[in-house]
Structure 1
């Protein structure tokens, strides 16, 4: 029941709310909490999700809530790990679905955000904010090819929305090609490109003009271009993840992305790379586009873009494409996109990635991780179907969902957080911080091997 703060009869309720707020703020202020405080936090968290957030979350993550353990009430983090409210430490191999590329609470990123916060948190919206200009310049320097102009967002789905609108304005075409197993977000335009039926059905009809073709099937892509052209529904853009993340860590066939680029050039369509999950060093290069020697017309970024400290995203586009927004820069805007705190975080993040050679490190450590996981799965072919990946973006595919759930729960019980892709655990992902140590990798592999030994097909 909501409180009527204008009524004198609600004085006691107002007092209770104020006391509750002060208690919460007092706990935030603490570096350590007592056992009694941890129990209170856990109860309030579970009750709050049940009564005021969404009770579905309590049942959804089977690996961390089974048996009422609720150890998933996280409280602090550092490096490649986080701790729950009871002080138990976990190696984070989920990484916020790819957020923590430079590690949890990277000190350089935290410092940049804290320093900016001391001076100005958000901008006036009217004057020119310097960090947005500086970050855009940096992105122009580090992104592939002639990508130049940046627009800043708060999340991956917002980056995709911006890319779709920019593509529509560029050529006034309305047809888009996406792929099966694609995940581009859940806002209306992004969801139109996403391929998961259970997320789409409740919101149909979505944005018209989207066609889906099998990922990796260049012949079907070519035929779709041809058909669209023949019926006067010319393709505005192809939107594609260079490596599919939520689809199950699916790598493209050799030469596939170059062939997609050639088709786009042939038919005058744009190529949009959704690098929300693959970007910022995850795959062994700063951007996965570099792995495949393909330059898109628009690249979408988010997740790790804010360094695991601030929500931040961006699109970067070629001048020829972006200039349709020159005449009226208010055609697409966002209040908080490109705010000073987010820009400070992104600038520091890029600095850390470059200075510490983290993309290159992801390639080397990722290869080691992948090979060790494959060795650990030997003799368990009845459980494990395939282990694949690129850099520190690894997928372990099992023969059925139930095995994935059991493995995820077993690893969580032993201090390693992993998770399935999208809504199942047939494939679980390994996306740790790019700073993860070899010792931590070995520990994860050892736990994975032990857990497999205790599971029956």
Structure 2
């Protein structure tokens, strides 16, 4: 009997080794990993530069505490804010922690508590982040949540305008809702948020935990919209598989997070920032991002060729794509794809999420699309609609 809590619906095999997009289980079976640890392994598995960064830093210093100056954090922060409208960084360990920091910063800075969030969003499983999440299944059973999160339909401009008032501290959103179905913000909705930001003192918090660090073809997904966040959270792909998260924020917040207002024991430790700096050095290269965009266009074209019928939908940006199956429950297909050697993850009950490493090759995309087509269109699977 396992000594672990059974809070994960684990798949019945263990991945023990990986290189690039390929991973292997305990029997030696090969899979293409189109989950990337849920948008985490941005440079694939065991990337030589990350391996070297961990090896080099591990021989110097693992942990020293944030009581001391951190040259590594200073360098990483400067790399992240370069050429974007954000000025300061705080580092933590995960996306949920990053969103907690963003919520705290917004409430402390404004002196207000009301934050507008959206249906089908996902911001984490701590109490604050869970309260901001617009999915009942995440929140059920935990009693009273953190108050004054107002949940609205995503991309509904009129309801958003009606909900904003003098007590609103912030609007918090994902540019593409990952867990909620790979739902992208519309241009109209993004512009409405930008207009509210300009014409009021309402802050905008953008959750880039899943969409950031090149995942959508630009450094951050907000760069493809009219939105310019006051505060932005990040994690997942930032460490390429090593736990690190953080927020970036505008200069006006500098005095709000003064000494003693917020902190973390392990956040921004030397190992984490060394790995994250290596990821940034690779991913934020202009040629690398252009390559992600080219591979995204290739992937979408191949998916459109394989699934031309109207019942299928292809959504998302960059290498954060979703394949909708015309309202069918995707869980049986995800399991069948495991058997076929392609690892995927659901985005809600109706969409298969496709999140390969940013280093995926066209040949691996071809192989993955072939497996998707074989399983989804050519297999007989009993589906609970």
| Fold agreement, TM-score > 0.5 | yes
Candidates 162, 181, 188, aligned match of 1:248? 181
Residue number among 330, 350, 354 corresponding to 2:280 in the alignment = 350
Asked whether the equivalents of residues 370 and 389 of structure 1 are also in contact (C-alpha less than 8 Å), the reply is: no
CA shift for structure 1 position 222: 0.3
C-alpha distance in structure 1 between counterparts of 2:62 and 2:280, whole Å: 20
State TM-score, norm by structure 2: 0.95
Aligned to 1:38: none
In the alignment, does 2:198 pair up with 1:265?
yes
1:237 aligns with 2:184: no
Match of 2:223? Answer: 290
Q: Superposed, which structure 2 residues align to 1:39-188 within 5 Å? A: 47=1, 51-55=2-6, 57=8, 60-61=9-10, 64=11, 70=12, 72-142=13-83, 144-145=84-85, 147-188=86-127
Report what 1:448 is aligned to.
372
Contact 1:243 1:249 (C-alpha < 8 Å) held by counterparts: yes
Note the C-alpha offset of 1:356: 7.3
Deviation at 1:210, TM superposition (A): 0.7
Shift, 1:184, TM fit: 0.5
C-alpha separation in 2, matches of 1:446 and 1:148: 44
**1:400 Cα deviation after fit:** 4.2
The answer to whether the aligner puts 1:319 opposite 2:251 as a matched pair is: yes
1:406, CA displacement in angstroms? 2.7
Deviation sequence 1:139-186 (CA, Å, 0-9, x none) = 2215x22x1110001000000000000001111011000011110001
Cα–Cα, structure 1 residues 221 and 93, in superposed 2: closer, same or farther, change >3 Å? same
Alignment partners' CA distance in 2, 1:253 and 1:267: 21
CA contact (8 A) 2:65 2:265 kept: no
* Correspondence 1:439 to 2:363: yes
* 1:216 alignment counterpart: 155
Cα distance in structure 1, aligned partners of 2:305 and 2:371: 13
Whole-Å separation in 2 of the counterparts to 1:348 and 1:357? 16
Compute the displacement of 1:264 (Å).
Answer: 2.4
Report SS of the residue matched to 2:265. coil
**Match of residue 335, structure 1, among 265, 276, 300:** 265
Q: Which has the higher helix share?
A: 1
The residue number in structure 2 matching 1:393 is 320
Secondary structure of 1:314 counterpart = strand
| Partner residue, 2:144 | 205
Spell out, residue by residue over 1:206-229, the C-alpha distance to the aligned partner (whole angstroms, 9 max, x if none).
11111011111111100001xx43
Q: Deviations over 1:324-345 (max 9, x none)?
A: 123xx22100000010000001
More RCO (CA 8 Å, sep 6+) = 2
**For the residues of structure 1 that align with 2:121 and 2:39, how far apart are their CA atoms?**
16
CA displacement 1:265-306 (0-9 Å, x = unmatched): 322111010000000001010111111143110110000000
Q: Which runs of 5+ in 2 are unaligned?
A: none
- Alignment check: 8 A CA contact 1:367 1:390 kept: no
1:32 corresponds in structure 2 to none
RMSD of Structure 2 on Structure 1 (CA):
1.6
- 8 Å CA contact retained: 1:240, 1:272: yes
Partners of 1:317 and 1:125 in 2: CA distance = 19
SS in 2 for 1:324: coil
> SS at the partner of 2:138?
helix
How far the C-alpha of 1:56 sits from its partner, in A, is 5.3
User: Does the 8 Å contact 1:102/1:435 carry over to 2?
Assistant: yes
Give me the TM-score of the superposition, normalised by structure 1.
0.80
**Aligned-partner Cα distance in 2 for 1:255–1:359:** 26
2:176–2:211 contact (8 Å) kept in structure 1 = yes
Q: CA deviation at 1:322?
A: 3.1
* Gap regions ≥5 residues in structure 1: 1-46, 65-69
- 1:260, CA displacement in angstroms? 0.5
Aligned match of 1:279: 212
Q: Residue 123 of structure 1 contacts residue 129 of structure 1 at CA under 8 Å; is this kept in 2?
A: no
Does the residue aligned with 1:273 lie in a helix, a strand or coil? strand
Task: Name whichever of 102-111 and 179-188 sits farther off.
Answer: 102-111
Once residues 356 and 411 of structure 1 are traced to their aligned partners in structure 2, the CA distance between those partners, rounded to angstroms, is 34
> Aligned equivalents of 2:192 and 2:66: distance in 1?
42
1:413 offset after TM fit, Å?
1.1
